[in-house]
Amino acid sequence: MKDRRGLGISRGAVAGGLAIALLFGAGLPAVASAATQVEYRTIDLPDPGGDDLWRAEYFVSGRLFVEGEGLSILFDETSFGALGDPPAAGADWDVMVLQPDPLLPDAGRYDARALRDSPSLASVFAVSFVWRGPGPPASQPFEIYGPSFETLETGETSPVPEPGAFALVAVGCGGLGAAMRRRRR
């Protein structure tokens, strides 16, 4: 292939550029989308009583909450139990948990309700729990609700990207750029 100046561009460079575009675009909302993003990180805690204790930390972006709106993260009643008292999530939020109940059956909830317009999302939303599922805990459903508790949006949490993945992409971009510069000479 030739570019406008008659310089050759290898198929490998084109394929590499497409791969990088896909890597950077994967998992990101479209610019016009107003979808709320809820990312999580799980931490395996010491298990002194024999239960499999974990802590989940949630990071929210992509939404400007108004007073009375809130976020609920759902905890399936068969895989989760004993949700711990959540730490405060800053002065802008009221947080609480509702325990999962396998007898009803009913999912548990971590709930954060905005106490003012445009509350800070810099705080970490966190909760500990007993994990009863196989392997480590994974993504969970979430709901955004309005001041009258109507559901405004639903979604699925996603893992926080690993820093190593970004470093690998950066190294690949640097190598691709160097290869393209050598080609031009």
4-14 per-position pLDDT tens digit: 555 455 555 44
Residue 71 lies in a domain: yes
Answer whether 0.85 is exceeded by the pTM.
no
Structural domains in the chain (count): 1
Residue 6 lies in a domain: no
CATH code for the domain of 120: 2.60.40
113-168 per-position pLDDT tens digit: 999 999 999 988 999 999 999 999 999 999 999 999 999 999 999 999 977 544 55
Residue 51 lies in a domain: yes
Residue 68 lies in a domain: yes
Residue 151 lies in a domain: yes
Domain of residue 97, residue span: 34-161
Residue 185 lies in a domain: no
Question: Are the beta carbons of 41 and 159 closer than 8 angstroms?
Answer: yes
Residue 84 lies in a domain: yes
pLDDT over 70 (residue 175) = no
Q: Which of 20, 3, 25 is nearest to 174 (CA)?
A: 20
> What is the distance between the alpha carbons of residues 140 and 38, in angstroms, rounded to a whole number?
10
Any idea which of 28-32, 94-98, 129-133 has the lowest mean pLDDT?
A: 28-32
- Mean pLDDT on 78-102: 94
Q: How many CB atoms lie within 10 A of CB 74?
A: 19
134-139: long-range contacts (C-beta < 8 A, 24 or more apart)?
Answer: 136/42, 136/44, 136/54, 137/42, 137/54, 137/56, 137/79, 137/80, 139/40
